[in-house]
Amino acid sequence: MRHEDFQDCCETSEKGTVGGPYQGKLANVIPFYPDSVGIRVLVQPRPDDLGPLLLTPEGDSSPARHLRDGMPEDLARAYLETVLHPGAPH
């Protein structure tokens, strides 16, 4: 997210309103998705203490597709097992 957009997001949040969406790129590696860094996203702030929604308007990489359309059940189960039970054999 651009610095100006981040400032706008913070200012609107302090006023109790919601701005955006803001364009940005994912800066983190998502487990199971080593190619997730740099995916274009729209950051849509939400009211109260809810975290923002990350929307993927374009792209055909698997993380972009799964963020946009949902992930296959078998991958979701494997992901949750790994996140909820780290170090356990799977």
* Cβ-based neighbours of 23, under 8 Å, separated by 6 or more: 1, 2, 5, 40, 41, 42, 43
Rounded Cα gap, residues 46 and 31, in angstroms: 24
> How many domains is the chain built from?
1
Is residue 90 situated within a structural domain?
Answer: no
- DSSP assignment of 34-85: TT-TT-EEEEE--STTPPPEEE--S--SHHHHHHHH---HHHHHHHHHHHHS
Determine the pLDDT at residue 32.
77
Q: Using one digit for the tens of pLDDT, what is the confidence trace for 18-59? A: 888 999 888 888 777 777 888 888 888 888 778 888 887 666
Q: Which residue has the higher pLDDT, 72 or 60?
A: 72
Predicted confidence band of residue 90 (pLDDT cuts 50, 70, 90)? low
Its domain, for residue 53, covers: 3-84
Is residue 17 situated within a structural domain?
Answer: yes
